Amino acid sequence: MPPTEQAPDREVAPPLLEVRDLKVTFAGRIGLGAGLLGRKATQSRAVDGVSLQLRRGEVLALAGESGCGKTTTARAIMGLEPPKEGQILFEGRKISKGLRAYRRKVQMVFQDPTGALNPRQTIYESVAEGLRIHRIHHGPNGETEQQLVARALSRAGMRPPERFFLNYPHELSGGQRQRVVIAGALVLDPVMLVADEPVSNLDASVRGEILRLLLQIRDDLGLAILVVTHDLGLAWTIADRVAVMYLGRIVEIGPAEDVLTRPLHPYTKALLNVVPEAGGLDRPILTGEPPDPTRIPPGCRFHPRCPEVATGAARAAGVEDRCRGEDLGLMELRPGHFAACHLAAVTVGEGQAMSTSQPKR
């Protein structure tokens, strides 16, 4: 297979953000009696070894069910959750050093714009707050605070910006509020945005416009965007790459087209199976709920729910014992497309071998 054009490029430009083997745990609550008996609280391994990279101008979607650790990963990247292990490097430096400067460059957009805005502050004050916190009185070219706020609002699609300065959040619609939240992030000229379910609280017809705005911002300003979402359809409409998380780990990551149309991991396939569409209910649906991060199964963490194990496909391929007993990390099974699956590791290799041997027949 010829090397892809991307490969050398990746080595030259260092990633903007690099997460290496990130682990975040939460202590479970423990009763007084059990505490006196010397029992320790169970650790909930919310993020259990996540590694990812984000390049400038790239949109990466972090997808998965609730409880998979995607929001905790995003919060750790923002410096809002202390990592237990692992490193988060931004522009090659650890974020724990110079957190304040880092937070200026990396901004977060939350799910609920109504909760994110102070109801007693005007739109102007909400957007200018970031500037004041970071004690920025002028832009790089001598712009006044008012000019910076106006530019941010206008970039977020609130035009003419002056019209909204003195409005309060309750006077705006949900879509407009989310634009104000985005303006509040943009006013600091960040190089990266972390958006946690940026449209799931918005009406269906309004979502598209906000997503289009995020893409626009990326194109105009060259921002990198990490979008946390449960919605694979959303990933299809905006992401360059998609990472699928299950129980604290990324189980598949790669170019959006590959991951969403030629998934390798059975969990990604299961998630795609439940994206609603006509007749979709006849397709197999995983049973049960996502397991408990305090009790992560041994071996491949997905094996207790894995349809490939249940139907015997894993046994037929001779990997079932490894599924049950051997924990595994991501493997590059196609160029730039990684998955953590014993079965895929075998079958994808075979598939390639078969396709090359076929012409000989």
Partner 1 sequence: MSLLSVHDLFVNYRTQGGPVPAVRGVDIEIGTGEVLGLAGESGCGKSTIAGALLRLLPTGTEVTGSILLNGEDVLGMRPGRLRAVRWTETSIVFQGAMHALNPVQRVGEQIEEAILIHHQAGEREAHVRVGGLLEQVGLPPRRIKDYPHELSGGQKQRVMIAMALACNPSLIIADEPTTALDVMVQAQVLKLLKELQRDLGLAMLFITHDLSVLIEVCDRLAIMYAGRIVEEGPAQSVFYESAHPYTRALADAFPAIGEGRFRKAPSGLPGDPPYPQDLPGGCTFHPRCPLAFEACPHIDPRLFDVGPGWRAACLLVDSAKPVLEAARTPGSGP
**Interface residues toward partner 1, by CB under 8 A:** 65-66, 173-176, 203-212, 215, 230-234, 236-238, 256-257, 260-261, 270-281, 285-287, 289-290
Which CB atom, from 287 or from 355, has the smaller least distance to partner 1?
A: 287
Nearer to partner 1, 280 or 298 (CB): 280
Shortest Å distance, C-beta 119 to partner 1: 19
Rounded to the nearest whole angstrom, what is the least distance from the CB of residue 26 to partner 1 in the complex?
19
CB of 38 to partner 1, least distance (A): 28
Q: Is the Cβ of residue 58 or residue 320 nearer to partner 1 in the bound state? A: 58
Q: Tell me how far apart the alpha carbons of residues 42 and 56 are, in angstroms, rounded to a whole number.
A: 39
Rounded (10°) CA dihedral 218, 219, 223, 227 = 20
Nearest approach in angstroms of CB 234 to partner 1 is: 8
Exposed e or buried b per residue across 193-205, where buried means at least 16 C-beta atoms within 10 angstroms of its C-beta: bbbbbbbebbeee
Closest CA relative to residue 77, chosen from 19, 14, 15: 19
Beta 85-90 vs 249-255: how paired, if at all? Answer: unpaired
Task: Output the smallest distance, CB 143 to partner 1, in A.
Answer: 29
For residue 227, give Cα distances in angstroms to 41, 63, 203, 224, 301.
32, 8, 18, 10, 24
The smaller minimum CB distance to partner 1, of residues 175 and 248, is found at: 175
What's the closest the beta carbon of residue 197 comes to partner 1, in angstroms? Answer: 13
Closer residue to partner 1, CB minimum distance, 258 or 320: 258
Quote the crossing angle between the two packed helices 145-155 and 123-133, to the nearest 10°: 120
For the CB of residue 30, give the shortest distance to partner 1 in the complex, in Å. 18
Beta strands in the chain (DSSP E): 17-27, 43-54, 59-63, 85-90, 93-94, 106-109, 192-196, 224-229, 241-246, 249-255, 331-334, 337-339
CB of 247 to partner 1, least distance (A): 13
Q: How far is the CB of 260 from partner 1 (least distance, A)?
A: 5
Instruction: State how far the Cα of 343 lies from the Cα of 320, in Å rounded to an integer.
Output: 8
C-alpha distances in Å from residue 269, one per residue of 64, 302, 334, 347: 12, 13, 16, 15
Cβ closest to partner 1, residue 240 vs residue 320:
240
190: preceding bond cis by omega (within 30 degrees): no
How many CB atoms sit inside 10 A of residue 138's CB? Answer: 12
Nearer to partner 1, 12 or 278 (CB): 278
Taking the least distance from each CB to partner 1, the nearer of 144 and 173 is 173
C-beta closer to partner 1: residue 216 or 356: 216
**Pick 86 or 297: Cβ nearer partner 1:** 297
Tokens of 305: 């729910």
Q: Which of these, 94, 56, 86, lies nearest to 69 by C-alpha position?
A: 86
- Asked if 274 and 280 count as a contact pair (C-beta separation under 8 A), the reply is yes
Q: Residue 300, SS3?
A: coil
Residue listed under structure tokens 């906000």: 210
**Cα–Cα dist 177/180, whole Å:** 5
Query: What is the closest distance, in whole angstroms, from the C-beta atom of residue 237 to partner 1 in the complex?
Result: 4
Structure-token pair, residue 47: 């993020």
Nearest Cα to 113, choosing from 153, 30, 169?
Answer: 169
